[in-house]
Amino acid sequence: MSELKTLVKKRSSMKCKLTIVCNYIKLIKSLSHLQIIDLECRLRKLEPLCEEFDALQTEIEILSDEPQAEEVPVEREQFDNDYFSLVATAKSLLAAGGRIREGSVTNFSDAESGAQVRNLVRLPKIDLPHFSGGYQNWLEFKDTFLSLIHNSECIDNINKFHYLRASLQGSAALIIKNIDFKSDNYKIAWQLLCERFDNSRLLVNNHIQALFNVDHIRTESCKSIRYLIDVTNKNIRALTSLKEPTQYWDSLVIYMMSTKLDGVTGREWEEHRNTFTCSPTLAQFITFLSNRADLLETLEENNAS
């Protein structure tokens, strides 16, 4: 037990080291040559801290008799977020300092420097989807990350790398785990990720499989029907973006999805489709399901009131 207490104290000491450097950055009022050297030294001293913390936290988890399942990932996640945010901030400041020295400017005004430090110390919160390695989620994640982060001219590469690492989980995170956290390595990390998951054949197979694997609706409900709509739309859009001829698949997809409906909704659909003089389109099928979901939601609300 005494050994565990010692390790916990060491963990607190590691957190304290991060806080000290963070507080130092907040107090920066200029980017003088001496301060740049000072910050470089602090950053070098800080670099091995992440691996040291990981090893220490593992020891704590091994020695804990009754580890709290919810606290363990929180400790690791919080430290990782604080560490990588701080490293990204420090490297951004150093890069800015290098550009300023090249232009023979050594100081910002207090207002300018204070504003830049505040912006860099805490990266802007951007709600990004997490990606854990599922092919059916890759295109959505890729498009979102490209739009919000990768193609942004307002975010430098070190911060893009930070956002990328924070977005990845599971097997996807392992792909770039051993890449050094440096500005020049961001493009390498993104390229490795794309090379791993930009596999058209596997992507097509996974999205088609997702359509086949939709659960059968046992009891009619607005929630279940809307889930069916979302799954259908998501995977058809993905297959279209993969250059599959989905414009010819309406009858096939309608048949597949109609077999997933509960008995009452399925019967309503069969009666509704008899009103068409030709084969209904997928858009008409989706419209029917949306109207059906709206009706069920209204009925559920009336019954609850």
pLDDT means per 10 residues, the chain with 305 residues, are 75 82 72 72 80 77 58 69 80 65 39 42 65 89 89 86 90 90 91 91 91 92 93 92 93 95 94 92 95 90 77
Query: How high is the pLDDT of residue 65?
Result: 57
Which pLDDT score, from 0 to 100, does residue 114 have?
43
Q: Is the Cβ–Cβ distance between 53 and 11 less than 8 Å?
A: yes
DSSP 79-121: HHHHHHHHHHHHHHHHHHHHHHHHTT-----HHHHHHHHHHHH
Separation CA 150–CA 155 (nearest Å): 8
What is the predicted pLDDT for the residue at 73?
58
d(CA 242, CA 234): 13
